[in-house]
Amino acid sequence: MGWWSVNPWVLRLRGKTTYVERQETRTGSSIRQPTTRVFTAGLLLLLNVFVHHVNPIALSHAPVYLPVYGTAYNFLFRPEMTQDTSATYMTRVILAMLSTLFGFIIARFVIFPRLHRSLTMFSAGHESFWYPNQKEISNPQAYRNVQATANNGKPYSQEIYIGSSSQGSWAVVFVFTPFFVALCAAIFNLFLPSELEITATLDIMYIQVYPAIRAITLVLNALMFFTVLDSMFQDSNRCDNLYNGWMHTFRKYVWKHQVLRIGIFWIYLGGVIAFAAVGLPSFSQWYIDALSTSPSSLLMESWRSFLSGIVVVLDLIILMQDWDFPTLATVKGIYIPGLHTETLAIKCSRHQLVFTGKWLITSLVLCMIPLDMWVFCQQFGYEPKKYGQFASPTTYQIFSIADSAFLQESMCGSQCFRVENTTDVPAIATMGRYFGWPLIDQMPAIYVILIALFLFFRMVRTEDSRYVVSSKMQGFKAKNYELQMESSSLTEHANHALKQLASIKHYYSLRKHVDSICITFAMLGLILMLFQLHTIWEVSVAFRGQTYPQNSLSAPGQTHSLLISLTTIILGSQLLTRTNLTLEISKLRHKIPECATIWRHPTLRLTFLIELIVNLWIVPPFITGFVVIDEFQFYSTKCDDPMIFKDGGCYYSLRYPIETLGLVLFLRLYWIIRLVRNHSGFYGQRVDFLGSLHNVTTDSPLWHFRAIFHHRPVFAFVSCTLLIWLSTAVGVSVMERSIPSALDSDLTASWLIVVTMATVGYGDYYARTRGGRVITVMGGIIGGTIVISMLTSLFMGSLQTTFGEERVLYVVRYKRWQRARLDASVNLIASAWKYHKLKREGKDLDRANRALFKYMQQVRELRLGAVANGDDVVDKVCEWQAQALTPLLDTKNIKRNQALDELEAKVRRVTQLVHTIDSLVQSSKA
């Protein structure tokens, strides 16, 4: 939807080109499959209803605390309080109205223009430059043809609605204005007494408002589910061309008829509203009664926060799955759900307000995100005392205090109740449990939201730039290349070879992209496994000496385990894709026959199976428990804590959780080698081609390591050191946590490994378990030896001089030697003259004789130690000329002279023969 002037209509053109192409990325097309979109919308509907039913806050009698929106509402509509004066009341009302007005103006005329210039989401992809040219058109076109290409190379054409120059402006206004009003209220609170402060607490209880929230959530999610289906069913162009005719029969014989489409929508919407108003309260009560009888099946705070975070993630995925994301442009022929029009326009003088179907769908998501974020903030870091609730000390089930007067008396601020003695207070059992575990057990909810936000902004950035193509015009270049191939005089075999070469380059690029995805999910699973083990350890320390009802729903770290499983499934699918790409590359490079498959090629099959086992090794979720191992230490009749006496000896009773088997995930670190290889500059089709010419296997990891260590030795050394150090330290820390040990701290374990790798060995800390000792030996000693060897090689390599440095050193040494030789020669001549003079005068010659032999020895040593430059090219050429070239030339000259002599002798003989014949002829005539 947008707001713009009707006449004159302004069209902004690009400075260099008007060509536009949209090319979806591989990640984008994978999550935009129609079946995936339907599954995501349906999962969001069911999961959102479930989350609102198991929320224990829904039965709280505490007043509702609504950040930002509650503050803005109280700033605008809070009634006059007893402490208010007429001046404070009128001041608050006027400031609230002014803040609302200014918030609207800032959002519409300051924030939105910036978004409009930088993101195609707010301009339908046709106004993205900061300083575009403007041109008035008398009869403006409402649609623009966009040539697009998807992953599989299938081109298609779309008519995009560009009638609005301010697409999404009202959505920006509705999102920004409450935040601005809340900010003004916070500033206004600085000048008010505490009893008149504007808070986010509303004059209504959670138990009163949550039935309406459940109904609104159900209606909005059900409407979102239908609009997603409706938009896909109407977009026959993409369904037929890109997704192999998805639901072709249904779209052709049912959804094509507008009467049926519109009628189904209103019947569906009416049924959903009727169920939300009449059937939902009965269903909610039945569900609550069914689960209240079995407290062990209730969800704890970690699961509730995790599911709430998944709901927020699904909201973002619904936006990313849109086929026109991030432009959110409306395609011609796709009508608004329930109507037979593509846009709704409300004219007002020279302006009009336009609602497009795509932004109506987006508005549903934008309305759901604040509500879902509010529920998530309630569950993450949940404490019963914030909502007038308490947990049973035996079953840990949450009970909500039903006495509003008691809560009012015990209220100590916003979300603060002094609930201590609840013996005689009436309470209602809720649908949740609370253990009070460390907050790290709820962190997977934060992880998934951060990952979704990263992907969201990454897709906005990458695909926004793909939508608007500059003067390079990638698609135009591809078309010109095809035309040149068709019109060239090359043979059919040459054309086929060039196309294969282009395909190899494309497959290398795809494999690099898939490698990046695999590396991300492999490292994410490894990090989550370490966080899971740390969570289990912290919970065991916090509940040491206590018991709690432990099952698959109440065991610590299970949300981590579920997230690890999801990342592993994605990793396995991408690993299969990577193997298929490797197979295609090998076929195009003629390394294997065309009929080869993964399972028929022995090397590829073995590699794939090994990688599959390494990457799919995890501890499945809901498999919990501990393994107790008695580890022998020494024979004795008395054992100190924490050792136990058993069979005449002292043993450590080691208690490891089942999740410790996840340490096998450290084998995934081999992906880092591929990460370094892909970004080293020694990977690609050209490098492999050069390697094949010189009989070098450039796919070998050893070759890449040597190349990287040769060209970037510091980077290779630092990377290997950090990798071995951190992984070994974490492994030792995990193995030592089963007993009281100083190495259960990651910092202390890191200190031990550093000391071990440096071969210092202070002995202040040492591993006490066999597992810790084995990891210390493997990582600290063996890995340390490798690192020290690399450091030695790096140090020795840094001492090697370059050719220029060798030349400088040669000149300096030669000048120094030449000066010393001249000095020694002069001294030798002087001592010889002095010896001769003393001898002629008949004086003592001993001192002169010693000086003479001294300088003779110096001259001899300097002659033997003459400075030579072994790397001097001129000297090498001269030496080669003297030793090899000159004898060869002499031999050639001798042979040439012999041949010339023989030739002259033959000429002389022929001349003599001619003279003889002439003389005979003359004599015969005579």
Q: Is the separation of the CB atoms in 28 and 459 below 8 Å? A: yes
- pLDDT, mean over the chain: 80
Averaged pLDDT for residues 375-391: 90
Q: Given pLDDT bands bounded at 50, 70 and 90, which one contains residue 276?
A: very high
* Predicted pLDDT at 877: 57
Query: DSSP label at 331?
Result: B
Out of 466-470, 699-703, 785-789, pick the least confident.
Answer: 466-470
The 3-class secondary structure across 240-289, one letter per residue, is: HHCCCCCCHHHHHHHHCCHHHHHHHHHHHHHHHHHHHHHHHHHHHHHHHH
Mean pLDDT lowest among 261-265, 370-374, 492-496: 492-496
The mean pLDDT value for 597-607 works out to 86
pLDDT, residue 209, reads 93
Is the predicted pLDDT of residue 2 greater than 60, yes or no?
no
State the angle between helix axes of 701-711 and 713-736 in degrees (0 to 180), rounded to the nearest 10: 120
Q: Which one is predicted more confidently, 331 or 227?
A: 227
The predicted structure's pLDDT at residue 843: 81
* Percent of the chain topping pLDDT 90: 21
- Token couple for 811: 């000149």
pLDDT at 305 over 90: yes
Average pLDDT over residues 370-396: 89
Question: What pLDDT was estimated at residue 133?
Answer: 38
pLDDT attached to residue 598: 86
Q: Are 239 and 247 in contact (CB under 8 A)?
A: yes
Under the banding of pLDDT at 50, 70 and 90, the label for residue 96 is: very high
Between CA 587 and CA 595, with CA 593 as vertex, the angle to 5 degrees is 100
List the domain boundaries for the chain: 2-67+127-161+200-467, 809-864, 873-926
Query: CB atoms < 10 A from the CB of 426, how many?
Result: 12
pLDDT of res. 166: 65
- Average pLDDT estimate for 864-876: 60
Q: What is the pLDDT of residue 782?
A: 78
pLDDT bin (cut points 50, 70, 90) of residue 485 is low
Q: What is the mean pLDDT of residues 159-163?
A: 68
Q: Is the pLDDT of residue 393 over 50?
A: yes
Q: Give dist(CA 780, CA 778) in Å, integer.
A: 6
For residues 525-552, average pLDDT: 79
Which pLDDT band holds residue 445 (cuts at 50, 70, 90)? Answer: very high
Higher pLDDT, 16 or 145: 145
pLDDT at 167: 67
Confidence of residue 811 (pLDDT cuts 50, 70, 90): confident
Rounded CA separation 523/516 (Å): 11
Cα–Cα distance for residue pair 151/61, rounded to 1 Å: 54
Question: Is it the case that residue 136 has pLDDT exceeding 50?
Answer: no
What value does the CA radius of gyration of the chain take, rounded to a whole number of Å?
42
In this predicted structure, the answer to whether residue 549 has a pLDDT above a threshold of 70 is: no
**pLDDT above 50 (res 4):** no
